[in-house]
Structure 1
Amino acid sequence: MNLYSKYLKKYKFPFGVAVTCVILEAFCDLLGPTLMSNIINTGIEQGSLSKVYYWGILMLIVTAIGACFAITRNILASTVSQHMGADLRYDLFGKIMYFSEVSADKIESGSLITRMTNDTAQVVLFVNGIMRIFMKAPITCVGSIILATILNFRLSLIIYSVVAIVAILIMVSMRLSYPRFYELQNAMDKMNSVIQEYLIGVRLVKAFGTYDKETDKFESSNINLMEKGVASQIIVTLISPLMTLAVGVGTVAAIFAGSKLFSSNLANPGDITAFTIYMAQILTSLIMITNVFNVFVRTKASTARIKEVFDCDEDFTDSGEKKELNGDIEFDNVTFAYPSGSGIPAIKDLSFSVKRGQSLAIIGPTGSGKSTIAWLLLRFYDVNRGRILIDGYDVRDINVECVRDNIAIVPQKPMLFSGSIAENIRWGNSKATNEIVHQAADGAQADFIYKMQEGYESLLGSAGVNISGGQKQRISIARGILKDSSVLILDDATSALDAVTEAKVRANLISKFENKTIITITQRCGTAMFADKILVMDNGTKAGYGTHDELIESCEIYQDIYRTQIESSKEV
């Protein structure tokens, strides 16, 4: 597993000590039957009590030493495996943090959670097992076979037959189990996604009363997970008893053959007893080895899923030069289709420009490509054709972090995080003082904060579930104001605000960003008409571009929006 080589290298010393302890422990266990044979052959059979004491005390000492090795490897195994699991989760999270949008679209969030938790836990279990028992099983098995052969070659032929049968069963188990365990993990992904979707949309479910539908979705995914679990375990369930049967038959055959050899003076009681114990050790080792391969197969499936995450494309974090940007923006014949979409362009041959200090409103029907413009400007995706220029530089030639540092976006759906209101606003500038945070909130008309019991230290639930939609939007706007970047994008960011509050927010933004670029994505004509320029989008193409007065005269789509929203409201 090359994926884990760097982790094994990091913990090479404790891992090596643990493996050494496992080997020495196995050696101590292997000495047990031989010492027992000496107690019977040289002590009990010959009536020498001193020999019984001698070999008995030696057997106790060897057992105690083996126990010390076992304790040491258990402590090391637990410590190393848990540290390795923590490192693996950290690296996975770091990888996900720099996912490109294409990668984020490729693997669902529910699946990512499963891979970071369940799949990683499976790897931890495997590493812990290697250091505790997995190394011991083959050593004990091979050692038992060798020592049993030394004791009596004739009886050892039975062991070789049993081991050959068990090896075939293990190969069959591995071949049949791997695809089933992979499907099991995918089924777990689906169930986690269903649960996550419900938790995110729980209020909508309550509002529409779609409990039965959600229950049916969960039941379907839960039953699917159960069926995949049964399918993955049924191989193990069938193989293990067959292995036990094979070893059991071998033990009976060994005892029967031993009795024949004893009657012919070809074996003594101590050898037969030791041989029987070695058979028991071989049985235990083979069962362990079977479990090892079952865990290995499951870990292999988990490793493949983890590797998929590490193999995903990262964002454009290291590309381009760092530049000081002022905010002049130009789209030059831009065409773009979402990589994981239908292939139909979301934007076609789009050209427009906006200068620093100007405000641009982008308006159009739902699905006309308005938000896509923001995602392309932030370089979440690269265009298929054409260029996006900032201050005359192609965004592909500018360091992506530099681009995003100079653009603040207030998304259509405000995303808040668990923590205080002040912490959420400081996402715009982590070093901002309390005074600057308060100024940003005042600019966003977030006066409701002062009415809350703890003020700016009031805690928000995940996604801000304990405040209203309008309050979320104002906190999100305050975050954008606090960033104080060259370009501010408001993606339908005032849709939950009333007209008076929106007007106050707009006035504050114009004052605050007087020498900067403001792009407002909206479906409201009443919001768009106050911008210096208006871009009208329709089905991914530019349907109009100009001032409100110019578009009223020349753009039919804008005229329809104006009549529908403004004139009809006057008539009412």
Structure 2
Amino acid sequence: MNLYSKYFKLYKVPFLTAVFCVALEAICDLLSPTLMSNIINTGINEGALSNVYYWGGLMLTITAIGAGFAVTRNILASKVSQRVGADLRYDLFEKIISFSEVSTDKIESGSLITRMTNDTSQVVQFVNGIMRIFLKAPITCIGSIVFASLLNFRLSLIIYSVVFLVVVIIIVSMKLSYLRFYQLQKAMDKVNSVVQEYLIGVRLVKAFGTYEKETDKFENSNINLMEKGVSSQMIMTLVSPIITFIVGIGTVIVIFIGSKLFSLEMASPGDITAFTIYMAQILTSLIMITNIFNAFVRTKASTARIKEIFDCKSDFTSSGEEKELNGDIEFQKVTFAYPSGSGVPAIKDLSFSIKSGQSLAIIGPTGSGKSTIAWLLLRFYDVNSGKILVNGHDITELDIDSVRSNIAIVPQKPMLFSGSIAENIRWGNKDATDEMIYEAVNKAEGSFIEKMEGGFESLLGSGGVNVSGGQKQRISIARGILKKSSILLLDDVTSALDAITEAKVRKNLNSKENKQTIITITQRCGTAMAADRILVMDNGVKVGYGTHDELMDTCEVYRDIYKTQIESSREV
């Protein structure tokens, strides 16, 4: 597996040391039947007690040495496998956080969690097994055949036949098992996704009382996982008894033919005893080899899933040459369709421009492409055609960190993290002083923070579950303000605020002291009216651009929105 060559190079010395210990341990185990044969042939049969002591003592010594090698390889196997697991999880997480939006859309979060946990654990177990028992099994099996052949070639022909049959069974079982194990991991993805969806939407489930629907959904996924688990294990479950049966028959044949050869003085009792022990070792080794291939097939399936993550497209790389940009923005005939979507453009032939320090409101019906403009400006995606210019530069030619460091976004759905309120706000600027935080919070009308028992050090639950929707939005707005970037993107961020609080926030952001270019994506005509320019979108197409008064004269879509929201409310 080329994917793991990096980790092999890192831990090559302890890995090879463990392999060396496994080989020596196997040799010690292989010597035991031969020594037992010598005890019987030269000691017990001849009545020489001294030979029994000699060969018996040598056998105990070799067994003790083998135990020492076993302890050493167990310690090395545990350390190396856990280190490989830690490195692999780190590399996976590092890759995931560098995902492009296309890659994020490709693999759902539930599957990513399964791959980072269950699939990685499978790899760890496989690495541990290789260093502990997997290498020992083939060495013991081959060694038993060799030592048995040296004792009595005629009897060894039985072993060759047994091993051939078992190898055929193992190969067939491998081919049948791989697809089943891959489907098992996908079924586990589905279970994780169902649980994750419930945990994210638990309040909505409670509000609508759809427990039974969620339970049925989980039950279906859970039963599917159980069935896939049974299916994947069934083949291996049948293989081990079959192998035991075949080897058992071989042992009976060895004893039967051995007794015939003994009567012809072509085999000694010690040889037959040693052969019986070697057959037992071969049986144990073959079952271990079956388990090895079982683990290999499952690890191969997990490796394919892990490789899918590493093969995913990363976000645009940074050259490290950041530059400060002003807020001049221009879209030139931009067309874009989401890569994993229907292929229908979300934005078609869009052109507009805004100067640094001005404010722009983007308004339009749901699904008109408003948020897509923000994602393109942040370069989460690249346009299919046309250009986006910032400060006169094509953003595809700018360093990605330069683009994003000069843009602050406050998303439509506030995303807060577990930790204090101050820590969440400092996401906007990790070096911000307390004074800078207070200033940002005041602009976001976040006076409620100081009234909380812990103030700015009040702890938030994951996702900000212990604050209201409006409070989340104001914390999120403060974080965006604190970044002090040349461009501030507000994606429908005042939807949870009352009209008075929204007006105060809007006034603070549009003050003369604020030199930022502010782009506000909104559903509210009242919010859009306060901007210097308004861009009206409908079904991905620009249908109006200008001031409120200009659009009232020239844009039917804008007039309809105004009449629906403003004039209707006045009549009420």
Q: Same fold (TM over 0.5)?
A: yes
> What residue number does 1:308 align with?
308
Contact 2:114 2:188 in 1 (8 A): yes
Contact 2:333 2:387 in 1 (8 A): yes
> What residue number does 1:522 align with?
522
d(CA) in 2 for partners of 1:280 and 1:85? 34
> What residue number does 1:407 align with?
407
> What residue number does 1:487 align with?
487
d(CA) in 2 for partners of 1:16 and 1:182? 30
d(CA) in 2 for partners of 1:504 and 1:48? 105
d(CA) in 2 for partners of 1:30 and 1:453? 72
Amino acid of the structure 2 residue aligned with 1:447? S
> What residue number does 2:317 align with?
317
> What residue number does 2:238 align with?
238
Give 3-state SS (helix, strand or coil) of 1:515's partner: coil
Amino acid of the structure 1 residue aligned with 2:121? A
> What residue number does 2:197 align with?
197
> What residue number does 1:434 align with?
434
> What residue number does 1:72 align with?
72
Amino acid of the structure 2 residue aligned with 1:111? S
Give 3-state SS (helix, strand or coil) of 1:179's partner: helix
Offset of 1:318 from its aligned partner? 3.1
Give 3-state SS (helix, strand or coil) of 2:333's partner: strand
Contact 1:321 1:397 in 2 (8 A): no
> What residue number does 1:158 align with?
158
Equivalences for 1:83-98 in 2 at 5 Å? 83-98=83-98
Amino acid of the structure 1 residue aligned with 2:198? Y
Offset of 1:512 from its aligned partner? 7.6
Offset of 1:434 from its aligned partner? 2.1
d(CA) in 2 for partners of 1:39 and 1:336? 83
> What residue number does 1:476 align with?
476
d(CA) in 1 for partners of 2:513 and 2:294? 62
d(CA) in 2 for partners of 1:490 and 1:524? 13
> What residue number does 1:14 align with?
14
Give 3-state SS (helix, strand or coil) of 1:93's partner: helix
d(CA) in 2 for partners of 1:389 and 1:319? 19
The question of 1:510 aligning with 2:523 is answered no
Offset of 1:563 from its aligned partner? 1.0
Contact 2:320 2:401 in 1 (8 A): no
Equivalences for 1:139-150 in 2 at 5 Å? 139-150=139-150
d(CA) in 2 for partners of 1:558 and 1:388? 25
Amino acid of the structure 1 residue aligned with 2:147? L
Give 3-state SS (helix, strand or coil) of 1:490's partner: strand
d(CA) in 2 for partners of 1:29 and 1:380? 60
Offset of 1:516 from its aligned partner? 1.6
Equivalences for 1:98-247 in 2 at 5 Å? 98-247=98-247
Offset of 1:511 from its aligned partner? 2.8
> What residue number does 1:294 align with?
294
Partner deviation per Cα, 1:218-244 (whole Å, 9 max, x = no partner): 111111111111111111112111111
d(CA) in 2 for partners of 1:259 and 1:462? 74
Q: Percent identity?
A: 77
Equivalences for 1:242-281 in 2 at 5 Å? 242-281=242-281
Give 3-state SS (helix, strand or coil) of 2:266's partner: coil
d(CA) in 2 for partners of 1:273 and 1:225? 47
> What residue number does 2:418 align with?
418
Offset of 1:20 from its aligned partner? 0.4
Offset of 1:437 from its aligned partner? 1.6
Offset of 1:448 from its aligned partner? 1.5
Give ranges in structure 1 of 5+ residues lacking alignment: none
Offset of 1:321 from its aligned partner? 6.0
Offset of 1:378 from its aligned partner? 0.3
d(CA) in 2 for partners of 1:198 and 1:314? 29
d(CA) in 1 for partners of 2:74 and 2:453? 51
Amino acid of the structure 1 residue aligned with 2:65? I
Partner deviation per Cα, 1:504-535 (whole Å, 9 max, x = no partner): 11122123862220000000011110000000
Give 3-state SS (helix, strand or coil) of 1:489's partner: strand
Give ranges in structure 2 of 5+ residues lacking alignment: none
Amino acid of the structure 1 residue aligned with 2:313? D
> What residue number does 1:356 align with?
356
Contact 2:184 2:228 in 1 (8 A): yes
Q: Scaled by the length of structure 2, what TM-score is found?
A: 0.99
Give 3-state SS (helix, strand or coil) of 1:348's partner: strand
Contact 2:363 2:528 in 1 (8 A): yes
Contact 1:319 1:398 in 2 (8 A): no
Amino acid of the structure 1 residue aligned with 2:538? D
> What residue number does 1:466 align with?
466
d(CA) in 2 for partners of 1:507 and 1:462? 31
> What residue number does 1:443 align with?
443
Offset of 1:156 from its aligned partner? 0.4
Contact 1:552 1:559 in 2 (8 A): yes
Contact 1:425 1:437 in 2 (8 A): yes
d(CA) in 2 for partners of 1:71 and 1:496? 63
d(CA) in 2 for partners of 1:279 and 1:433? 75
Contact 1:320 1:398 in 2 (8 A): no
Offset of 1:168 from its aligned partner? 0.1
Offset of 1:433 from its aligned partner? 1.7
The question of 1:341 aligning with 2:341 is answered yes
Give 3-state SS (helix, strand or coil) of 1:28's partner: helix
Amino acid of the structure 1 residue aligned with 2:235? I
d(CA) in 2 for partners of 1:113 and 1:571? 53
d(CA) in 1 for partners of 2:515 and 2:431? 23
Amino acid of the structure 2 residue aligned with 1:343? G
Offset of 1:438 from its aligned partner? 2.1
Partner deviation per Cα, 1:269-294 (whole Å, 9 max, x = no partner): 11111110000000000000000000
> What residue number does 1:395 align with?
395
Give 3-state SS (helix, strand or coil) of 1:511's partner: coil
> What residue number does 1:570 align with?
570
Q: Scaled by the length of structure 1, what TM-score is found?
A: 0.99
Contact 1:357 1:513 in 2 (8 A): no
Amino acid of the structure 1 residue aligned with 2:26? A
- What is the alpha-carbon root mean square deviation over aligned residues? 1.1
Offset of 1:455 from its aligned partner? 1.3
Kindly tell me the number of residue pairs found equivalent between the two proteins.
Answer: 572
d(CA) in 1 for partners of 2:513 and 2:181? 56
Give 3-state SS (helix, strand or coil) of 1:463's partner: coil
d(CA) in 2 for partners of 1:131 and 1:320? 42
- Compared CA separation, residues 241 and 422, structure 1 to 2 (3 A): same
Give 3-state SS (helix, strand or coil) of 1:462's partner: coil
Partner deviation per Cα, 1:132-170 (whole Å, 9 max, x = no partner): 000000000000000001111111010000000000000
Contact 1:141 1:285 in 2 (8 A): yes
- Compared CA separation, residues 46 and 356, structure 1 to 2 (3 A): same
Give 3-state SS (helix, strand or coil) of 1:341's partner: coil
The question of 1:330 aligning with 2:330 is answered yes
d(CA) in 2 for partners of 1:42 and 1:453? 88
Offset of 1:322 from its aligned partner? 3.6
Partner deviation per Cα, 1:227-273 (whole Å, 9 max, x = no partner): 11111111111211111111111011111111111111111111111
d(CA) in 2 for partners of 1:55 and 1:12? 38
d(CA) in 2 for partners of 1:12 and 1:272? 42
d(CA) in 1 for partners of 2:187 and 2:62? 48
